[in-house]
Structure 1
């Protein structure tokens, strides 16, 4: 695919290589939000069916992206932490006594399981990254797989690590945990939209994704896939719209015990957000048009020579078989002064994330060769 920068409002004098932090809004997504704001000035034009139409359309698009069988498997939520709390509330704690997570995982996917373990007398087992410069990703995966046994209740992780893009073999992990009748919950925030995932192959019990990174959508919007194993569970809140026959406004006082089918019961209250939902729809339409497979190839083409050049200067990058092309960490030579490096990046308007002794590089389809060249100039023109 070709560079898609023309679809964004990014200035030419800035090099934004930081989608893992916050994606810029495509122009069509921005315009959808503006239309939603203006619509609130004409409330008489919002019909009862409008509370359902766009929400259902959004489910269809996300289901298509992750290859869910039914759009009803998708819940609309405000955040990943909301989705993880929903999953945690509906796990049968009698199936095991150990919860496995990866070391230095993003906090939202740690605190939920710390609380769960405290409330259900489970052990939280953290599998740290091995201290290796070569073969780190491969060994980390081996350690996670080895840890899964008959006592394992749950494995919860991202399919890439949020700090450096390390890939986790979610298909193999899913197979191992299913053999023990445990649960598998994935935070897809740093991958879904830029890295292909098929829930029919991976078979997670839940896959939760924030919308404001690789899905190119607005903040405070998340989407969650829930398997049939969890779909009879209890939602975090009792919103009117998730009850059966809520489409009939005249019958809302005929209170129903039954919920809407599938994962819709887990929707957040006011899920029909007339600003954020249309924005998320436009974002997913773009992602599906580009195709995550093509996005991976675009990022690979953009960064392959860059990485090879960096290695000649002593920088370390994970083997491509065990990292994403859309997001990866560059481990710096020890002699580099981080403050000096950060100042140089700021002076060149290069935007990325510093994580300890490494840089997190996360390009997307709006980046072009000159963005990567500017970063290479800084990294190869600093005292090592």
Structure 2
């Protein structure tokens, strides 16, 4: 697969290796948003059906991306924390149950669990990586599997760790969690869209994704999948669109205690957002065309030379089969002046993130091998200065 730089508006002098922070918008996504904003200028042209048509298209597109057969298992959410809260507040916890997480996972998949653990007298059990870099990813996965036991009620973690790109073996984790009737809840924000994910293969109880990273969508809109465990649950927000027969505006004053089917009860209010919703539709449709497995392979192909060079310079990067290729952490060697490196990157218009002890590199189809090689040259020069 060739680069797709023409689909984006990134200037040629910018080396953007920071998609895990925020993706740039596709040109088509930007255009969809502008069209959506303009619709509000002519509100008399917006009909009753318009409140539901694009919501359905978005749910169908997301279901196709994650290989879910039924789009009614999906919901439109404003944030990961919102999606996690819908799940956390509908689990039948008992005092002493354990919630299993991994070290330094993103706060949006922690704070809800901390709150409910305190409220219901639960235990949060954190699985740490090994203290050594040797075989780090494989050992971390092994520790995680070993931690799942009779007290485990929920395993909630990312598919790809947001700080360093470590991939967690969701198939093995799902298999082990089933042995103890534990729920599996996935934060797919740093993977879905750029890394293969299949509901049919993993069968999680819930999947929650922010939309503004690898889904290439706008800020403040994301998607979730809720399995049958949650289909009789109570949403954290009671809005009119999530009630049965809400499509009939003439009957909205006939208040209905029944919800939309399956996961339809969990969508955020005003999810028919006439600017953001069509933007995310366009983004996901493009990802379906490109295919996440192709994006992953492209990342592998353009980063291989640079990864080898960084390792030769003494940097640690997780073994290739234990990490993602669209997002990975570079742990610099001793002696590197990180402040000097940051200044050099800034001067050369190289954009990355710094997460924990790692320099986080996150790339996409708008990048080329030269972008990665440029980063290597700057880091090498900084080490030698």
How far off its partner does 1:355 sit? 2.1
Cα 1:96–1:174, aligned 2, differ >3 Å: closer, same or farther? farther
Any idea what the Cα deviations from partners look like across 1:336-362, whole Å, max 9, x if unmatched? Answer: 011001000001000001123321010
Does 2:353 match 1:353? Answer: yes
Query: What corresponds to 1:283 in structure 2?
Result: 283
- Indicate the residue corresponding to 1:50 in structure 2: 50
Instruction: Identify the residue that residue 98 of structure 1 maps to in structure 2.
Output: 98
Contact 1:160 1:168 in 2 (8 A): yes
Asked if residue 371 in structure 1 is aligned to residue 371 in structure 2, the reply is yes
Equivalent position SS for 2:309: helix
2:156–2:186 Cα contact (<8 Å) kept: yes
Q: Runs of 4+ in structure 1 displaced over 2 angstroms?
A: none
Instruction: Give the Cα separation in 2 of the matches to 1:310 and 1:253.
Output: 64
Query: Is 1:95–1:153's contact at 8 Å kept on the other side of the alignment?
Result: no
Aligned residues: 384
CA distance in 1, matches of 2:186, 2:98: 17
2:244 corresponding residue in structure 1: 244
Q: Deviations over 1:62-104 (max 9, x none)?
A: 0001111200000001000000000001111039611110001
Deviation digits for residues 255-278 of structure 1 (CA, Å, limit 9, x no counterpart): 111111111100111111000000
- TM-score under structure 1 length normalisation: 0.99
- How far apart are the structure 2 equivalents of 1:30 and 1:238? 31
- The question of whether the paired residues in 2 share the 8 Å contact of 1:191 and 1:214 is answered with yes
Contact 1:75-1:266 at 8 Å conserved across structures: yes
Provide the C-alpha distance between the structure 2 equivalents of 1:195 and 1:378, rounded to a whole number of angstroms: 28
Aligned position for 1:256: 256
The 2-side partners of 1:340 and 1:267 are apart by 46
Deviations along 1:121-159, whole A, 9 cap, x unmatched? Answer: 111101111111111010001111001011101111001
CA displacement 1:267-308 (0-9 Å, x = unmatched): 111111000000000000110010000000100000011111
**Which blocks of at least 5 consecutive residues in structure 1 are unaligned?**
none
SS of structure 2 residue aligned to 1:310: helix
Name the structure 2 match of 1:4. 4
Secondary structure of the structure 2 residue equivalent to 1:382: helix
Report the secondary structure of 1:381's partner residue.
Answer: helix
Asked if structure 2 preserves the Cα contact closer than 8 Å seen for 1:59 and 1:71, the reply is yes
Conserved in 2, the CA contact under 8 Å of 1:158 and 1:188?
yes
1:332 partner SS: coil
SS at match of 1:200: helix
Shift of 1:170: 0.7
CA–CA distance in 1 between the matches of 2:27 and 2:48?
29
SS in 2 for 1:223: strand
The range that moved more, 252-261 or 73-82, is: 252-261
* 1:57-96 matches, cutoff 5 A: 57-94=57-94
Partner of 2:354, secondary structure, is: strand
Query: Retained in 1: the 8 A contact 2:95–2:121?
Result: no
Match of residue 29 from structure 1:
29
In 2: Cα distance, 1:376 partner to 1:145 partner: 36
Distance 1:9 1:60 in 2: 28
Correspondences of 1:180-259 after superposition (within 5 Å): 180-259=180-259
CA contact (8 A) 1:95 1:181 kept: no
Shift of residue 372, structure 1, vs aligned partner: 1.3
User: Which whole-Å deviations, capped at 9, do the CAs of 1:31-50 have from their partners, x for residues lacking one?
Assistant: 00000111100001100000
Question: 1:207 aligns to what SS in structure 2?
Answer: strand
CA contact (8 A) 1:329 1:358 kept: yes
Q: Does 1:154 align with 2:154?
A: yes
Matches of 1:111 and 1:217, distance apart in 2: 24
> In the alignment, is the contact (CA less than 8 A) between 2:216 and 2:284 conserved in 1?
yes
Aligned residues of 2:174 and 2:184 also touching (Cα < 8 A): yes
TM-score, normalization by structure 2: 0.98
Q: Distance in 2 between matches of 1:149 and 1:187?
A: 21
SS in 1 for 2:184: strand
Cα deviation for residue 383 of structure 1 reads 2.1
Write out aligned runs for 1:313-332 (5 A): 313-332=313-332
Task: Please tell me whether the aligned partners of residues 96 and 153 of structure 1 are also in contact (alpha carbons under 8 angstroms).
Answer: no
Distance 1:68 1:262 in 2: 13
CA distance in 2, matches of 1:336, 1:193: 34
